Structure 1
Amino acid sequence: MFFGPTIYRLCEQGTEVYILCLSEGNYEGKGQIRKQELWAACKELGVPDQNICLISDTRLPDDPKAQWPVPVIAKLIEHRVEAFDIDTLVIFDRGGVSSHPNHAAVFYAVAYMFVERNMPETCTVYTLDSVNILRKYLGFLDLPLSFLLSSKRYFLRWTESRRVLRAMKRHQSQMVWFRYLYVIFSRYMVINTLRKISLADIELELEVDD
């Protein structure tokens, strides 16, 4: 839903892309359906089935009111990074794009890994920029500003963005009316801007939170 341009472009370039999903999406009791939809969406973007890892853990419920335990997420991410020798990690920033607490928890888990010195030195970490609501729904019109403000970015041409649209539509159980507006207007269907982060960046952001 948010990382489509990055996933599509990296797969197109021949990069080995792995997807780590930390929840079955069972908030409405549709976990099995959404698992199938995830695989179908990833296939549209070019990610092979064997590169998708879906976590089923009762400590990580699909619930916007639930506080996911940061050390648990950190351990899961650390295990996959080491197991697959991951050299680049792309995650949510602390805004989580949509302010969803489960999204933000991923950022804080990676921050925890940095602080605890558990992030491999060979792994570079990027966060997906959360933008204000005006920019979020500018679609292609956000291209000039994204180009000026971000040095790491993935843009899709109109014909390419249709692949992301098809992937999004694979999540049929989640396609309520406002999601159709999202796929029409959201910049995240065509643009991803990323920011490289380090321990120093993490410490600064945590100080701001305090």
Structure 2
Amino acid sequence: MMLYAFYALLLTAAAAYGFFQGRYLKTPLTRTNIVLVIAHPDDEVMFFGPTLAELTRSENGNTVRVLCMSSGNHDGLGEKRKKELVASCRSFGIRESHVTVLERDELKDGPKELWDPSLVGDQMNLYAKKHNIETIITFDEKGVSGHTNHIACYVGLTYFIQTFKNNTPVKTCYVLKSISLLRKYISILDLPFTMAMTEALMPLVSQLTGHGSVAVLIGGQNSATNRTNLRPSELLFVSAPSAIVQAKGAMEKHESQMVWFRKLYVIFSRYMSINELRRVM
């Protein structure tokens, strides 16, 4: 019985994956300035690879930047890890000038290091104003892996929203949804579960069934002229095989971090092929 259930899951995942490779679900984040805020070098690909692969596609016309809150110097490898981050981002077509690593004593790498939310939020605000950022993407309140520094990015984003939302070029903020440990390590087999629970497919379902207003479902606006500015409550990015290879290549740039368990992570982690983002502003 368990074997039959596995085969059913495998076939369902394959069918769902084929659906996404038809590119029926388009990203609404186009022709905009985006910053991905991470805690350490390698976060950008270990957790956000599908997001970067999609948003940096040339036809989407985005300018994507990466703001890294620390150099990941917990083991004294900060300088090396900064160079690895630049090389990894280059794999996604992100220029070195669009990669910023903060060097502050108050933002040290480490699971026991508690970052001041106001400092993190202030850095987001300064960066957004300097580069006219319209969308911020970072971790959610569980930080995917539960790392204190990941969670600090979310708490800092919360401070940013509460403090600066009326005086910032930022229009939308998204966070990467954390999932259970079991789902986290079944790679693309998690896609049927994701599709069953996400709101990201609602606009597409509305179009296919002819029920309801797509604009209302995803943005609460009815003007066709504003359609390109609509931002849904959830986004779902599923990488094509080429994008998965791209992400694996980017991860290999982080040579200092490629110990045995991270090699297994690259093979089995759902975050190497699937990203689900939730809008918080």
Is 1:133 equivalent to 2:216 in the alignment? no
- Of 144, 169, 174, which aligns to 1:97? 144
Distance 1:117 1:159 in 2: 39
Alpha-carbon offset, residue 189 of structure 1:
0.4
**Residue matched to 1:39:** 86
- Summarize deviations over 1:80-116 as a string: whole Å, max 9, x none: 1111111111110010000000000011111112222
Equivalent position to 2:96, from 34, 49, 53 = 49
Name the CA distance, whole Å, in 2 between partners of 1:59 and 1:96. Answer: 19
In the alignment, the residues of structure 2 paired with residue 89 and residue 159 of structure 1 have an alpha-carbon distance, to the nearest angstrom, of 26
Aligned to 1:6: 51
Match of 1:77 among 124, 141, 145: 124
Task: Give how far 1:138 is off.
Answer: 1.1
CA distance in 2, matches of 1:80, 1:114: 14
Contact 1:19 1:53 in 2 (8 A): yes
Matched residue, 2:13:
none
How many residue pairs get aligned? The number is: 198
Contact 1:96 1:130 in 2 (8 A): yes
1:166 aligns with 2:213: no
Gaps of 5+ in 2: 1-45, 201-234
Instruction: Give the ranges of 4+ consecutive aligned residues of structure 1 lying more than 6 Å apart after TM superposition.
Output: none
1:153 corresponds to = 236
Consecutive unaligned residues of structure 1, counting only runs of 5 or more, are 199-210
Contact map agreement 1:78 1:118 (CA 8 A) in 2:
no
Question: What corresponds to 2:109 in structure 1?
Answer: 62
Larger radius of gyration: 2
* Correspondence 1:176 to 2:251: no
Judge conservation of contact 2:129–2:169 (CA < 8 Å) in 1: no
Q: Which range moved further: 20-29 or 139-148? A: 139-148
Report how far residue 118 of structure 1 moved.
Answer: 4.3
Task: State the 1:145 CA deviation.
Answer: 1.8
- Identity across matched positions, percent: 38
The residue aligned with 1:22 is 69
- After TM superposition, the score normalised by the length of structure 1 is 0.91
Change (3 A) 1:77 1:122: closer
The 8 Å contact of residues 8 and 46 in structure 1, kept in 2 or not, is answered as no
| Aligned counterparts of 2:136 and 2:280: Cα–Cα separation in 1 | 10
**Normalized against structure 2, the TM-score is what?**
0.68
